[in-house]
C-alpha cells in the first residue's frame, strides 16, 4: 500500500470518527431534552395512582362511618402550592385514644389531644376508640390504608400526614368541611413540581 493510500485511509477514518461524535452529541441533546418530560410523566402518574388509592380509602371510611373524614376549613385549592397539615392520615389509619393522646393502631405515632385544635383545627378524631378491639365491632377503629407505603407517610408541623411518595415535602390537601370544587363531598388535591412545571393533581380534574 502506498503512503498516499494510507493517508486517504487515515483521513477517512477520522471523518468517520467525527461523524460518530456528531451523532452521539445529537442523541445526547435529544435525550436531555426529553428527560424532564419523562420525569414529569412519572411523577404525575404516581400522584394519580396515589390519588385513587386515597379516594378508595375515603369512600370505604364513609361507607362505615356515614360521613367523610372530618377536616379543617383552612385548606383551599385556589392557593397555589398549599401545603397544610391535616387529619386525613390519622382518620384513615385509625387511632386509639388513651392517656389524653391519639395513637395510631400500629403504635408508631401519637399526638396529644390538646394539640389537635391548634395543629389540625379539630377537637377530636372520629375513627378512634379507647381500645383497638372494642366490644362493639362498629366502634372499633379501622385502618382503611393497609397498602400504604412508608414513602407515602411524612410529617408537617409535627403532625403525621399523607405525602407524595415521589416528593415527601408535598402533603395531600383535603377539605370536607367546606369543599370548593365538590360541594357536598370533599376536595382532595396536591401540588407537584415536576419537569420544571407546577402540576395540580386533584379529584376534580382527573
Q: If you average pLDDT over residues 111-123, what whole number do you get?
A: 96
Contacts within 8 Å (CB) and 24+ apart, 177-185: 177/70, 177/71, 177/72, 177/73, 178/73, 180/76, 180/77, 180/78, 181/77, 185/68
Whether residue 16 is contained in a domain is answered as no
Whether residue 29 is contained in a domain is answered as no
Distance, CA of 35 to CA of 6 (rounded, Å): 43
For 85, the grid coordinates are 397539615
Distance, CA of 204 to CA of 206 (rounded, Å): 6
pLDDT over 70 at 50, yes or no = yes
pLDDT over 80 at 200, yes or no = yes
Residue pair 188/58 in contact (Cβ under 8 Å)? The answer is yes
Whether residue 68 is contained in a domain is answered as yes
pLDDT value, residue 35: 46
> Could you tell me how many residues make up the chain?
206
pLDDT over 50 at 52, yes or no = yes
Whether residue 163 is contained in a domain is answered as yes
Q: If you average pLDDT over residues 153-162, what whole number do you get?
A: 96
For residue range 6-43, what is the model confidence (pLDDT) as tens digits? 555 555 576 666 666 765 656 555 445 444 555 568 89
pLDDT over 50 at 104, yes or no = yes
For residue range 119-137, what is the model confidence (pLDDT) as tens digits? 999 999 999 999 876 556 6
Whether residue 40 is contained in a domain is answered as no
Look at strands 95-98 and 128-129 and give their pairing.
Answer: parallel
pLDDT over 70 at 102, yes or no = yes
Whether residue 141 is contained in a domain is answered as yes
Scanning the chain, the segments in alpha helix (DSSP H) are 3-65, 88-93, 116-120
Whether residue 33 is contained in a domain is answered as no
Distance, CA of 43 to CA of 8 (rounded, Å): 53
pLDDT over 70 at 83, yes or no = yes
Residue span of the structural domain in which 133 resides: 45-202
Sheet holding 101-104, edge to edge: 110-112, 101-104, 95-98, 128-129
Q: Which residue has the higher pLDDT, 78 or 174?
A: 174
Whether residue 174 is contained in a domain is answered as yes
The structural domain count of the chain equals 1
Q: Which residue has the cell 391535616?
A: 86
Amino acid at each position: 500500500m502506498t503512503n498516499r493510500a494510507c493517508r486517504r485511509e487515515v483521513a477517512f477514518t477520522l471523518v468517520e470518527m467525527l461523524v460518530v461524535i456528531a451523532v452521539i452529541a445529537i442523541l445526547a441533546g435529544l435525550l436531555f431534552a426529553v428527560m424532564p418530560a419523562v420525569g414529569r410523566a412519572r411523577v404525575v402518574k404516581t400522584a394519580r395512582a396515589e390519588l385513587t388509592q386515597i379516594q378508595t380509602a375515603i369512600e370505604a371510611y364513609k361507607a362505615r362511618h356515614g360521613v367523610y373524614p372530618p377536616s379543617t376549613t383552612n385548606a383551599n385549592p385556589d392557593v397555589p402550592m398549599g401545603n397544610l397539615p391535616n387529619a386525613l392520615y390519622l382518620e384513615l389509619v385509625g387511632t386509639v385514644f388513651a392517656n389524653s393522646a391519639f395513637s395510631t393502631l400500629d403504635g408508631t405515632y401519637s399526638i396529644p389531644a390538646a394539640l389537635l385544635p391548634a395543629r389540625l383545627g379539630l377537637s377530636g378524631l372520629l375513627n378512634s376508640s379507647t381500645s383497638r378491639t372494642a366490644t362493639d365491632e362498629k366502634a372499633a377503629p379501622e385502618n382503611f390504608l393497609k397498602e400504604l407505603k412508608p414513602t407515602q407517610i411524612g410529617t408537617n408541623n409535627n403532625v403525621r400526614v399523607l405525602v407524595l411518595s415521589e416528593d415527601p415535602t408535598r402533603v395531600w390537601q383535603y377539605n370536607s368541611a367546606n369543599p370548593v370544587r365538590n360541594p357536598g363531598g370533599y376536595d382532595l388535591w396536591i401540588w407537584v413540581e415536576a419537569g420544571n412545571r407546577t402540576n395540580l393533581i386533584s379529584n376534580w380534574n382527573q
